[in-house]
Structure 1
Amino acid sequence: MNASTLTAPDAPQTAPEALRPARRPGTATVLRWEITKLAAQARSRYTLLGCVLGPIAIVLIFNGQQTTPSDTIYGRQIHTSGYAMPLFLLAFASQWIFPVLASLVAGDIFANEDQHGTWKTILTRSVSRSQIFWAKTVTAIMFTIAEIVVLAATTIVASMLLIGTQPLSGLSGQPLASAHALQLVIASWATALPPLIGFTTLAILLSVVTRNPSAGVAAPVVLGLVMGLLGTIGGFDLTRRFLLTTPLDSWHGLLTEPPFYGPLTFGLGVSAAWTVVCLGFAFFSLRRRDITGG
């Protein structure tokens, strides 16, 4: 018998490399992939750049004007305290800017896959719909938080450097020392995060359901304007409490004497309810969708 035909009985039988099952990527891997995709987009970089340059330009413009926007909260004090300007801009951003920032990425993050027909390609990479959903959701929420942190930090620092760190008057007329005023300004901007996360999840829901990036981005902005309008109409007090725009005004209670936290606490519950409901509908809509077409 030829020696070349002998096989050692104890030799390990290794399967070919190509026949080994591929290791399934974890959700953290999919999340890193989504963050990398977002970081490569010019839109996301320009948005963050706008969050840096925009507040500086606004502070310079208002600081150079002789008149003050006295009909807006803290508008009278923007020349006398560097802590009034961030609160003035916070009130303005709550009405017009925040819904836009919350939907820029979230409203497109799912619908973009439909627009380019890349769902089948993604799902052949051994990742589940649940992994894709949560990775995209976390990415959109993280981007919204980054936008608000950058916007708030730039506004506060620019105001302190260009206007000063003078004491601030609270909404009850009480004097607020510089250090205390700074803490309240930071806390006031932080109260915007829960409702903005709610707006982000609303944009995610519309992105999943409509499959249209334009609708996913524009519809939350329009809904935000409608909510803001309903909040100003008399006779809708009960409805107003459950609107997603109402918690954006809850920071007012932090600057009174004594402070009141009822609207802030209720607003946290409202924001959480919107977030859970929107994500629930979006998740089950994506799970049940037929993506065989692309």
Structure 2
Amino acid sequence: MRTVCLWELEKLVAQWRVRAVLAVCLLAPFAFVLALRSQSAVPSDTLFGRWVHDSGYAVPLVVLGFAGQWAFPLLTCLVAGDIFASEDHHGTWQTILTRSRSRAVLFGGKVLASGIFALVAVALAGAAALAAGVLLVGHQPLVVLDGSSLASGRAAELAVWAWLTALPPVLGFTALGVLFSVAARHSAAGILGPVVVGLLMQLSSYVNGVDIVRRALLTTPFDAWHGLATARPYHGPLVEGCAVSAGYVLVCLAAAYVLFRRRDFGKG
């Protein structure tokens, strides 16, 4: 599995699309801060948006709020949604299967490579957002949701932990992308399918409905960090979000593996 994973990562690094995505993760937060500095208005309709001119630690939280709503599903599925379907596009399954020990090893290696890319992309974006905020705005204390003020060190910890809470749902969308990639056998469907699902989940969360349904959506855990943004953090939403994300990962990967295992590659 390690060999397959390393080979997949080597192929990913060679793709201009992957390099471009990682570059965007690194540079977009700086562009965002520079754009904010050129105008007096602030994104006050977003959480911590009113503080982006007053504390650099508000920047990574604002970026995280936007990314969790719209960017993360697309970011993760650019690889996860294509990593199996691309072999169908190029007609290379027969060659790959003859060189692999088993389908399980091949499946595991590709899934692992998809997960590593997703984690690296999120880590780059989070580090860049924090660096952009501190370097271009400053390291002033941050006013949190209960009105109290966090000193620089505590505010930095909040930003780091907030971005770490995004990893479970990101891996959930990665698993969903793998499922679409295996089932659809088409790169566009593998990439855009989970994005559409994410948008529908996001829109449905804005509609008044059954609370248990909203809590079961994969997009809801992206807001779990809100419980940390107080002087006395509460971790209930974070624990619940991790459980929901783990459920999506297990179900999606199990379904994808069954489809992959049962597929007759001799018939295409």
TM-score normalized by the length of structure 1: 0.90
Which position in structure 2 is the counterpart of 1:221?
195
Which position in structure 1 is the counterpart of 2:239?
265
Aligned counterpart for 1:47 among listed residues 21, 25, 28 = 21
Which position in structure 2 is the counterpart of 1:96?
70
State the structure with more CA Rg.
Answer: 1
1:208 aligns with 2:182: yes
Consecutive unaligned residues of structure 1, counting only runs of 5 or more, are: 1-26
Which position in structure 2 is the counterpart of 1:12?
none
Which position in structure 2 is the counterpart of 1:36?
10
Q: Number of matched residues?
A: 268
- Could you tell me whether the CA contact under 8 Å between 2:81 and 2:190 is conserved in 1? yes
Aligned counterpart for 2:51 among listed residues 77, 90, 109 = 77
Which position in structure 1 is the counterpart of 2:140?
166
Work out the CA distance in 2 between the residues paired with 1:200 and 1:90. 18
Alignment deviations for residues 122-161 of structure 1 (CA, whole Å, 9 cap, x no partner): 1111431111100000000000000000000011001100
Q: Which has the higher helix share?
A: 2
- Could you tell me whether the CA contact under 8 Å between 1:230 and 1:236 is conserved in 2? no
Q: Which amino acid aligns with 1:106?
A: A
Work out the CA distance in 2 between the residues paired with 1:289 and 1:113. 14
Q: Which amino acid aligns with 1:192?
A: A
C-alpha displacement at 1:260, in angstroms?
A: 1.1
Which position in structure 1 is the counterpart of 2:205?
231
4+ residue segments displaced more than 6 Å: none
Work out the CA distance in 2 between the residues paired with 1:279 and 1:135. 13
Work out the CA distance in 2 between the residues paired with 1:266 and 1:173. 25
Q: Which amino acid aligns with 1:228?
A: Q
Distance 1:292 1:261, change over 3 A: same
Task: Please show how residues 78-157 of structure 1 align to structure 2 within 5 Å.
Answer: 78-157=52-131
C-alpha displacement at 1:65, in angstroms?
A: 1.2
Work out the CA distance in 1 between the residues paired with 2:3 and 2:149. 51
- Could you tell me whether the CA contact under 8 Å between 2:150 and 2:231 is conserved in 1? no
Distance 1:265 1:126, change over 3 A: closer
Alignment deviations for residues 149-183 of structure 1 (CA, whole Å, 9 cap, x no partner): 00000110011000000000110001100000000
Alignment deviations for residues 235-294 of structure 1 (CA, whole Å, 9 cap, x no partner): 231100100000000000001232111110000000000000000000111000010135
Which position in structure 1 is the counterpart of 2:163?
189
Work out the CA distance in 2 between the residues paired with 1:36 and 1:215. 24
- Could you tell me whether the CA contact under 8 Å between 1:202 and 1:220 is conserved in 2? yes
Secondary structure of 1:151 counterpart = helix
Aligned counterpart for 1:280 among listed residues 254, 257, 261 = 254
Q: Percent identity?
A: 50
- Could you tell me whether the CA contact under 8 Å between 1:110 and 1:204 is conserved in 2? yes
Q: Which amino acid aligns with 1:79?
A: H
Work out the CA distance in 2 between the residues paired with 1:150 and 1:236. 36
Work out the CA distance in 2 between the residues paired with 1:245 and 1:97. 11
TM-score normalized by the length of structure 2: 0.98
Q: Which amino acid aligns with 2:23?
A: L
Work out the CA distance in 1 between the residues paired with 2:163 and 2:183. 31
